[in-house]
Structure 1
Amino acid sequence: MINLFEYQNKVSLPEEHFENLEMFLDDIWNKREKSSYYNEDENREEVQHFLQFLHKTNQLKSNKYVGVIHFENQTINLLPKIFYDSSKEVLEDDVKVINSHVLWWLSYCRKLKFPNYQTGLNNEQADFFEILIYLFGKYTKELLNSSIYQKYIEIENELSFVKGRIDFNKYITNNLSRGRNHKVSCAYDSFEMDNNFNQCIKQVTKLLLTASKDNQNKRNLNDILFLLDEVSDVSIGADECKRILFNPMFSSFETVRDYCVLFLENSVSFNYKNSLKLFAFLLPMEYVFEDFIFGFIDREIDGVKPFGQVKDKFLDTEQKFNLRPDLLLETLSNKFIADTKYKMVYAAENDSKKGISQNDLYQMTAYAIRFGISDIK
């Protein structure tokens, strides 16, 4: 097991695997779904940003992504930089604790609706990805055992009686002109379980089944596939999955939908060079952390209303340079601007600047002037 912290430590990799891993990550980057966790430049970029490959020394160094990579029977954990301690060796139990923190952050993210993640951590595993599979599998199986999502879908079929509306064009072309006037081409709504949401669940479940090595996870995933046996095998993209909406009666299915989007946007599984099953699940941590801060304030701090990425202010009068502070906080008596800085601050006791960079100060000053706010955090 290899443990890499964002922008911190370096680890050697055998030369025979070095180039193959780089090719694998390039493929993942190019085949990934366009994610709301990536900015526009990153979504257009063609060269992978997951790891730095130091070719002179055959060493790896992590960038800003957190998650797990399975490669050549090797697990590479990409961990948050704020937990890095150069004087301490990272043990398997340490990785479990770090994974628990990351899951706690994800549970507050606006882009996701997690169930109570702590119920799945009684049997903690070192692999962050296996924990996510456990949460998805356990929650989805329990939900489908109580109720399988069904919705009305338009069906086109030939019937011996009229149902719904008659498709006269098809009836004349395919039936009447061929002496099959006893068959009527009809289009009607039917309450079906073979819909795009269940198809998405089935697709993600099969994806995870090929990647998981945990027996409990495999049992949960196989149980889901058994419950969705009558659902068609259809490829559903993350964008289509995001657009699936539920009425209040089925609001519990939103959690499953968000899990599906999470896996589809941030993971890739396929046979590489027709020989090895490889997998990667990666998230850009600085955006997850920003999302977590917003969600935590929104849910846990009474009397404070957060607004994220407010876009109606500009630095210049011609409105060419848009200002987007991370957070605008409103209380009954005041407004604050806050900027989430996902970084370690090494401030010596005699440092008058307290570890604050000059660029950060300029940025916050511009926000304060344009928003007319005197309190910045």
Structure 2
Amino acid sequence: MIQRSLREWETIAYGEDAASIPEAHAARLIEVAGRSPFAGRGGEGVLEYRRKHLRARGVVGVIASPGCQLEILPKIEAIGEANATDEALRRRLVHMLAVARDIRIDARNSANLGWQRDTLLEILIRLFCRKMIEAVRQGIPRRYIAHEDDLPALRGRLDVTRQFSTLAAQPQTLACRYDELSPNIALNQIMKATISRIACLATAADNQRSLRELSFAYSDIAAVPPAALRWDLIILDRTNQRWHELLSLARLLLGERYQTTSVGSTDGQALLFEMSTLFEAYVARLLQRALAGTAFRVTTQGGHRDCLYEDGTGRFRTRPDILIRDANGIAMVVDTKWKRITPRIDDPKQGVSQADVYQLMAYSRIYECDRVMLLYPHHHELSADPLCRSYDIVSPNGADRLIVSTVDVSASHSSVAGALASLVSRSLSPRNAAVI
């Protein structure tokens, strides 16, 4: 199995050595990546196929074809860190996913996940297997399922209507309605589908062994195709709350962001994440934690106000990333951008897109709030302290402000949450200076 890793927006040349990839395998990976929902119209939204190399874009994860796996890692650099190791990037990416998906990774699980030797896919499979085995040891959940059957003896309640119509000529048979405690429920069917899917992908010996054990434990559960799984029937209560994290992992490995291709001459799988979407979810979840119990409330992908109206009908509906509300309404709109902001000495605008500025100015008007923020990830080329720069909108002494800020996502979750809470507090306080 050929395994290669590269960073988003970087290239890998064709070749046979350990630092390159055979062109035949590259072509198969391109075919798999081209069927991803992230591929776009041109088919190169994940990988660009060039004459001498492959180039990754802003989508990370693992693309697998027979005999080859390509891992794409995000550039998540700590302050003062010029070149992070693959191990460090995997850790940071998995922990961002854990925050966004409400998955707990304690010190015991984190220590032996294989950060250095395995790809992101193997690490996520290993995390799922460990949590799954621990949950199964406490018992597979069961629920009472309603059944209707024609039996020689009464069980449960008699279906009077069916008994005296359909079975009127068969007095030896009784139309019964009864409830039966069964493990064959939607939750277990989702778990079995996840086990079956990742069993085809795991290459690490310990993961394969764990999946065989889990497959045996779920042998009596009906096999349901992933597209037919009934996520809407899942009921989590105090009796099965421990399965919440496993459901999040199952969605991660089996849900909308998981693609399997088996069309044409290439079979392959892709576990991919759009970093802009992940960064937004990560920031939103930590903001919700940080501002819990305060006067502020955080909502995501809300608003839904229209930019234009035609004969009273709204056109061009908006959907800001994050809205921060207080008792008076919307206090701030936050738009997250997974882009590398430039040092001020290189560009006075610091690489902030004019289109992004126009978008935030429109949000300020549409949502009637005087504070809007562009939030970027911090990186090693900037100063040691995260950026927080305030600009007056429209006029030099106007009341409305646009704040351009960065946050160090390589720090601990508690540190990032504290930094975000402080950033919101300072941004919503009365203006003291242009630079905060």
Superposition TM-score, scaled by structure 2 size = 0.71
Structure 1 residue 292 and structure 2 residue 282: aligned?
Answer: yes
Q: Which residue of 2 aligns with 1:80?
A: 74
Is 1:100 the equivalent of 2:91? Answer: yes
Partner residue of 1:323 out of 310, 315, 318: 318
Correspondence 1:361 to 2:352: no
Structure 1 counterpart of 2:307, one-letter code: L
Deviation at residue 235 of structure 1 after TM alignment: 2.1
Match of 1:3 in 2: 5
Where 1:191 maps in the other structure, the secondary structure is strand
Identity %, equivalent residues: 21
1:82–1:343 contact (8 Å) kept in structure 2: no
**How far is 1:244 from its partner?**
1.7
Structure 1 residues 100-119: aligned runs within 5 Å: 100-109=91-100, 112-116=101-105, 118-119=107-108
User: How far 1:6 moved relative to its partner?
Assistant: 2.4
Mean alpha-carbon deviation: is it higher for 235-244 or for 65-74?
A: 235-244
Task: Identify the residue that residue 109 of structure 2 maps to in structure 1.
Answer: 120
Correspondence for 2:372: 376
RMSD: 3.2
CA separation of 1:300/1:103 partners in 2, compared to 1, >3 Å: closer, same or farther? farther
* Conservation of the 8 A alpha-carbon contact between 1:70 and 1:280: yes
Unaligned segments of structure 1, at least 5 residues:
33-37
**Structure 2 residue ranges without an equivalent (≥5):** 15-20, 374-436
Query: Does 1:262 pair with 2:252?
Result: yes
Distance 2:252 2:182 in 1: 26
By how many angstroms is 1:289 displaced?
1.0
**Counterpart residue type for residue 244 of structure 1:** I
Alignment CA distance shift 1:75-1:331 (3 Å) = same
Deviations 1:295-347 (A, max 9, x none): 01111345342111223422224421222221112357982221101111123
CA contact (8 A) 1:137 1:221 kept: yes
Determine whether 1:136 maps to 2:125.
Answer: no
Summarize the Cα distance change of 1:16–1:192 in structure 2 as closer, same or farther, 3 Å threshold.
same
Structure-2 separation of matches of 1:89 and 1:116 = 25
Structure 2 partner of 1:345:
341
Cα distance, 1:22 vs. partner? 3.0
Partner of 2:301: 309
Distance 1:174 1:252, change over 3 A: same
Counterpart AA for 2:97: L
User: Per the alignment, in what secondary structure is the counterpart of residue 338 of structure 2?
Assistant: coil
Superimposed CA distance per residue, residues 120-171 of structure 1 (whole angstroms, 9 cap, x where no aligned partner): 2212233111111111111111112113111121223332222234456766
SS in structure 1 at match of 2:298: strand
Maintained 8 Å contact 2:25/2:68: no
Structure-2 separation of matches of 1:6 and 1:141: 34
Cα distance between partner residues in 1 of 2:90 and 2:243:
25
Cα pair distance change 1:67/1:339, threshold 3 Å: same
Evaluate the alpha carbon distance shift between residue 292 and residue 352 of structure 1 in structure 2; reply closer, same or farther with a 3 A threshold. Answer: same
Residue 359 of structure 1: CA displacement?
A: 1.2
* Cα pair distance change 1:173/1:223, threshold 3 Å: farther
1:47 Cα deviation after fit: 4.3
Separation in structure 2 between the aligned mates of residue 132 and residue 60 of structure 1, nearest angstrom: 25
Structure with the bigger percentage of helix: 1
CA contact (8 A) 2:32 2:270 kept: no
Distance (Å, rounded) in 2 between the aligned partners of 1:46 and 1:357: 24
TM-score by length of 1: 0.81
- CA distance in 2: counterparts of 1:294 and 1:243, whole angstroms: 27
